[in-house]
Structure 1
């Protein structure tokens, strides 16, 4: 009885201390959760968790690791040509083939372990436990994203070239149970018919604002034109308000909502070269008020929201066509304070390596260092203090005219914060 009484007293004292210091058991557990990332090394899939590294799957040519909402599954592609789509359960280490040709567009549900993927115009979704058995399919889809509650999809139709021109694109909400039955799709909006003022025959994926009121996407012209210029658009979830905001390249990583509110950040500027005419802008969509943050003589090549007041950017000296310079300057990481416009360099420009792909984590800032040697992942405090080399070797990402595709070889996971 005395031992039981002592244990009870100790438990009461611990709970009292946690109450006094405003630390709940859930918060304490969260603080102990190590940082976790999936990455590609030597064409194979690896896991970094805290200080531990583990190989998860062999190649060849693994790419695009994506975490399920709960961090228990990974989806990834394998193969340079066919790009097979696979899923892997971290607990068992078992990897399973989803589709031999499903590597172009795929997304996890925001609420469960369902995975949706698109093969040309066919949208399918599966449960990760039975990845080779589609639960539903729909043809004629241009692009898609999950609805915020995971109950279906927001999707665009495919535009068709007829003798009198391209057909306009329809935007739909598609409940899961209606997938494949076009008569049950809810038409939210029909984009303007392609013309000299608005030319779109495809869309990007769709990104929802944190409150679910707004959707941002790129309206894309034909493939050759979309490499240089696309129209950044927003639409309300009910389709009543549709706006075109700006022009930018076809990079889906280059527009993102803040964690709350209606602020949309993006990198504006036409021309596929990331070394010229690329400016970071932040816009309050509801009030249509925005600001540009890229200093004269520089370009911003990637960014990440850190919180509602700060954005981290990968920035370089602009390579102007008339300058005659042979090589572009390598980028560095800067931190932008939105309200004041104050900007601070986190890393310094270097002739030997560039600092790419800032990632805003809940309590840290990460980025990639890459030069002649293998890429490395750095993790630091949010303002860049106390940087630590966290992953020593990551495969190089592909670069499209200076637009580096680092999410193809590196993906962080943090448990979503409670809202």
Structure 2
């Protein structure tokens, strides 16, 4: 018996880690743009999957099963502004590209099948990768419901002689056969956003409603309300609404181009970076907050004299933030503060710095990959469009560069 045990133990030691269900770096899979080409990387293997350089307009997106990649690029020959963007998919196993639509954008995979929703000239469409169907008119932004049987959509406010109208939210129910759609019978008004909203300290005109995200239980929807284009650089509002449209709340002021609100993976906890004023007004007044719903209890997780540049949820009680010391803006890039990563626990006062880049460079856009138990981030300077992807354990140990000179990127998360 003892010999049998020893033989079994030796056998387990020599089995490759992948055969035992490796949860480390080999399980990390990403798509990214580098020097105008689309790349895939799995573990340590990189592969360039486009043959010609192009300008990519959005971050590549994985299908729910990781078998397809969705991307948008500018057409080689621009016949008109309306038809300048092409929507493509790439089959990872077959290694084949297919153009889905000419002239669309803002494409998003369905949560549980290989349907794609996208807009073209304010028309919402759905493609099954073979053909597409018109779904709704006058659409500004949208997202799929978690069950994939419908979409929440917004129409933007319109300027009329007597002033701006209000943005309106709608629910679009999808019939079993998309050919049955007639553009109006399956559309239900959900909520009309007031023309002006605020958090008690600041207020904005309501022009657009974007960036819809569902809570883990599907009962709440977070989104951002934007004013007019230039104004939205300095002040937007994080909002939530119940899925039935009966309860609407403005949570706080925020700005675009830092990070979007994100739900905890398994609880109705919404994280967001609160605070108005674009970064050129100073690295200040950017606080990471978490609001619990439906209690509407809010926690400020940012200590005094610090400001946040981005964050990711690790689990329901931990987050990682990209954090800088408060500072005034400087036109000299060498004098601007660059962020490091900090591990935060919701119900403990101690927060731990976990990365130590050189002073002239920072750690941005943290992302925790649960299946791999790895933390990913971008190491770059603030003004740079591209940087290096780094990977480490959650505590920051075993850190190393994972991919060099990366622009827009997306990791496949099961």
Which TM bucket (shorter chain)?
A: 0.7 to 0.9
CA offset digits 1:353-381 (Å, max 9, x no partner): 21111001101111111258972211111
Say if 1:108 and 1:324 are closer, same or farther in 2 by CA, change over 3 A: closer
The CA distance in 1 between the partners of 2:171 and 2:289, in whole Å, is 29
Q: What's the CA shift for 1:252?
A: 8.2
Residues 152 and 286 of structure 1: CA distance in aligned 2, closer, same or farther (over 3 Å): same
2:15 paired residue number: none
Match status 1:74 vs 2:69: yes
CA shift in 2, pair 1:340/1:135, >3 Å = same
Picking from 222, 243, 246, the partner of 1:240 is 246
Paired with 2:265 and 2:22, the residues of 1 have a C-alpha distance of 19
Do the aligned residues in 1 keep the contact of 2:123 with 2:134 (CA within 8 Å)?
A: no
Question: Is the contact made by 2:259 and 2:273 (CA closer than 8 Å) also made in structure 1?
Answer: no
Gaps of 5+ in 2: 13-18, 76-80
Correspondence 1:299 to 2:307: yes
Whether the 8 Å contact between 1:257 and 1:264 is mirrored in structure 2 is yes
Query: 1:260-279 alignment to 2 at 5 Å?
Result: 260-273=266-279, 275-279=283-287
Once the 2 structures are TM-superposed, how far is the Cα of residue 69 of structure 1 from its aligned partner?
A: 0.7
Aligned partners of 1:265 and 1:282 also within 8 Å: yes
Structure 1 vs Structure 2 CA RMSD: 2.9
Task: Give how far 1:119 is off.
Answer: 2.5
CA distance in 1: counterparts of 2:396 and 2:133, whole angstroms? 45
Whether contact under 8 Å (2:258, 2:309) holds in the other structure is no
**1:213 and 2:219 aligned:** yes
State the partner residue of 2:147: 149
- Paired residues in the alignment total 377
Tell me if 1:378 matches 2:373. Answer: no
1: distance between equivalents of 2:158 and 2:185? 19
Q: CA 1:330 to 1:378, structure 2 compared with 1: closer, same or farther past 3 Å?
A: same
Structure 1 position 198, deviation (Å): 5.4
**Distance verdict in 2 for CA 1:324–1:140, change over 3 Å:** closer
Aligned residue number for residue 359 of structure 1: 367
Distance 1:176 1:231, change over 3 A: same
In 2, the alpha carbon distance for the partners of 1:270 and 1:139 equals: 33
1-side partners of 2:163 and 2:405: how far apart? 46
Which residue of structure 1 lines up, in the alignment, with residue 54 of structure 2?
A: 60
Name the residue aligned to 2:405. Answer: 394
Instruction: Report 1:4-403 matches (<5 A).
Output: 29=21, 31=23, 34-58=27-51, 59-62=53-56, 63-79=58-74, 82-103=84-105, 105-128=106-129, 130=130, 133-177=131-175, 180-194=182-196, 199-251=205-257, 253-273=259-279, 275-320=283-328, 327-348=335-356, 350-362=358-370, 363-371=373-381, 375-391=387-403, 393-395=404-406, 397=407
CA distance in 1, matches of 2:239, 2:288: 16
For 2:181 and 2:271, locate their aligned partners in 1 and report how far apart those are by CA, in whole Å: 32
Q: Which runs of 5+ in 1 are unaligned?
A: 1-9, 19-26, 398-408
What TM-score does the superposition give when structure 2 sets the normalisation length?
A: 0.83
TM-score by length of structure 1 reads: 0.82
Tell whether the 8 Å contact from 1:167 to 1:194 is kept in structure 2 after alignment.
Answer: no
Cα separation, 1, equivalents of 2:316 and 2:161: 48
What's the CA shift for 1:65? 0.9
User: Does the 8 Å contact 1:202/1:219 carry over to 2?
Assistant: yes
